[in-house]
Structure 1
């Protein structure tokens, strides 16, 4: 049985400490300074197969920043046994976690579950993007359930459970023929979208939700591939604002890779990565 992927970052006076333990996924450092790091997540084996239980545990220490980039999308392949993808994240006081998710594709003939648990402390912030695609090309997609449980020192910030099983989403007023969903979630502060959400020809369009407490959600639902014009733009804009002040001056001028860019063709050695770093150890 494969253990969880663990990733933590601690702020130091000269160079942050990043601790990595590989599971179904492994982390590669792309950029690093005294306050935090940007890391890329790569699969260590074929994912997501029938019966797979992928677990990712993240801990951002007080005052640190961590920017996670999924380098490729994930396909939940068909099979008799259900599969799952679980994220458990803790963000300390004055810390920030940003996570740019790639499409999670649910194939025909599979039941899969995505579970996200978040704990914010003090003035900690988190920004996550989740892209869901129901079915590969020519498919309608299998059964999917997703859950989000986010709390802070006071109590629940956001609790959500979505049942996107085939029978449920075919009911009137649910999804119908819509197959794609893009969600950007900010917790710990309430940023405004950089543009006006509007309905389009690819579906109902984007909807902006301001949470009762500090937080905001921007969600697009549509058909086919992602054609929303606001979610990627909002994630990039909110990410820059959120990380600002957590990064050293020498890195503030460095441009964060946008959604239009790809890691394919990048140098084999990641910026900031060192050949002597151990996969399960401290990177200094």
Structure 2
């Protein structure tokens, strides 16, 4: 995907992610993504399924909306059992010297019980100019944790990075931190928060893996080094240090 431009007018990109039970998948974007101008709307959709005990971490690079384009960015997440998701989404309205086109976003996250977070944001040009919506701001950074509720990380002086940062603990297991401002480079909170919450998620994951190794050692046929017979290995989840790379288009 890094060898060609995204998103061109009319493009509909769909990314499907399936994290096996007990596995860890870390998605790394090599560059940002630009939704280029054109007459036909474009879209970027992520559909993620995380198994019991699995962890999905995804630190998104800037998603830039050019002038004269209508684009939608959608995320669908399904958690099973004790699965966890940590995602960061950076939205930028307009390339250099632009105000940006029409953007809508949606997040639909469910677990085995029901909805965790359902959100739809209308950031089209007319809607975001309405009082109390977005005004002349150009950037929004959101870090979302699902499957557990981490505590907020840091608290900058009010007004130093933008109009404000808001921490939202969800009704059930989850939390979101959102920053809005004039330029994404002024955001001093979301990146450190993602790093801290990622370490929190992985600490619990590593503890669970250690407990699994102890159980394997106690099983008939298990070895002191924690290895189990080949048949059990074939049936087990993928190793946690596997990393997947997702690349986007050249940035601004």
**TM-score, normalised with respect to structure 1:** 0.71
Q: Deviations over 1:87-134 (max 9, x none)?
A: 000000011000010000000000000010000000100000000000
CA-CA distance at 1:243 after TM superposition: 1.7
The alignment partner of 1:191 has SS state of coil
1:243 corresponds in structure 2 to 202
The alignment partner of 1:226 has SS state of helix
Determine if contact 2:24/2:242 at 8 Å carries over to the other structure.
no
Q: 1:183 aligns with which of 135, 142, 156?
A: 142
1:84 corresponds in structure 2 to 43
Determine if contact 2:77/2:109 at 8 Å carries over to the other structure.
yes
Instruction: Measure, in 2, the Cα distance between the counterparts of 1:59 and 1:244.
Output: 21
Q: Which has the higher contact order (CA 8 A, sep 6+)?
A: 2
Q: Deviations over 1:128-161 (max 9, x none)?
A: 0000000011100000000000000000000000
1:1-284 mapped onto 2 (5 Å cutoff): 25=1, 43-196=2-155, 198-246=157-205
Instruction: Measure, in 1, the Cα distance between the counterparts of 2:147 and 2:158.
Output: 28
Over aligned residues, Cα RMSD in angstroms? 1.8
Instruction: Measure, in 2, the Cα distance between the counterparts of 1:138 and 1:62.
Output: 46
Q: 1:272 to 1:160 in 2, by over 3 A?
A: closer
Please list every run of 5 or more consecutive structure 2 residues that lacks an aligned counterpart in the other structure.
211-240, 244-252
CA-CA distance at 1:194 after TM superposition: 1.8
CA-CA distance at 1:245 after TM superposition: 4.9
CA-CA distance at 1:200 after TM superposition: 1.5
Determine if contact 2:72/2:103 at 8 Å carries over to the other structure.
yes
Determine if contact 1:61/1:95 at 8 Å carries over to the other structure.
yes
Q: 1:272 to 1:67 in 2, by over 3 A?
A: closer
The alignment partner of 2:91 has SS state of strand
Q: Deviations over 1:235-257 (max 9, x none)?
A: 001111212254578xxxxxxxx
Q: When the two structures are aligned, how many residues end up with a matched partner?
A: 211
**TM-score, normalised with respect to structure 2:** 0.80
Please list every run of 5 or more consecutive structure 1 residues that lacks an aligned counterpart in the other structure.
1-24, 26-42, 250-270, 274-284
Instruction: Measure, in 1, the Cα distance between the counterparts of 2:155 and 2:62.
Output: 24
